[in-house]
Chains A and B, each alone.
Chain A
Amino acid sequence: MKSTMNGSELTLYVTGEIDHHNAARIRETADGLIQQRHPTVLRLNFAGVEFMDSSGIGLIMGRFRMMQLYGGKLRVTDIPQGLRRMMELSGLTGLDVLERSRESGDCTE
């Protein structure tokens, strides 16, 4: 998984299909980098995500807690249109971790 560090902000480019099987691998990579680099902001860039079931919600919630533990923030960015209903259903829209997308201006509609 591609990652970039910009100052104290870490961006992870999540690609492919997020299901229970793949979430484990993404979680390990993300947590390894958080523990190693102690970013103040973790950005999960979802532009390359082609499919996501509720395992993706667990993954986001888990990283949210992890970043809280380290006194940092989580942002989920570039969320494809097709994943919106899942995000809405999860209640994540109330947590202020989903970045407003450029096209429609809001993740919650």
Chain B
Amino acid sequence: MTVLNEMSITFESRSSNEAFARSAVAAFVMQLDPTVGEISDLKTAVSEAVTNCVVHAYRHSIGTIRISVRLLPDYTIMIRIADKGCGMEDVHKAMEPLYTSLPEEERAGLGFAVMQSFCDSVSVRSTPGKGTVVTLKKRLSPRYANG
């Protein structure tokens, strides 16, 4: 896989870092000259994934979240959000729209549905007790400006 550019960040699973995480990813992707809509889609998807880490993976503790972003050929962006939290027994159930394990906290159960809607592909690998890796891919519309 040809990687044109890459960055990674690690930060603590505090809710105050949700804004930091999506802004950092957006700032890195800006070099591809994305549209306002594309940046908004990416920020939303990253926000969902990071919130899952804060709310579910590290529910009773503070742990580390690692995000890596790769810029691939053809304006394709690959974002990997990894935690070492509780993991999920049933990934398919977790990904069902409107399913949430925490209805009392006003979680809408839409996190994965939003990621799927705002990105081209979403893949999830999770091991109970070990953690979860969410990989988002999105291809930007071709740019005419010099990349």
Instruction: Using CB atoms and an 8 Å cutoff, list the residues of chain A in contact with chain B.
Output: 17, 19-21, 23-24, 27, 51-55, 57-59, 61-62, 82, 85-86, 89-91
Contact = CB atoms under 8 A, between A and B. Distances in A.
Given A21-B15, A82-B40, A58 B48 contact: no
- Chain B contact patch, size range: 20 to 34
B110 A20 contact: no
Interface of A is mostly: helix
Interface of B is mostly: helix
Contact of B37 (A17, A19, A62, A82): A82
Contact of B18 (A19, A57, A90, A91): A19
Contact of B110 (A54, A59, A82): A54
Contacts of B111: 54
A89 B107 contact: no
Interface string B108-133: 10110110011000000000000000
Given A19-B19, A59-B106, 6 more contacts: A20-B51, A51-B47, A54-B114, A55-B106, A55-B107, A91-B98
Contacts of B107: 54-55, 58
Nearest to A52: B44
Contacts of A27: 106
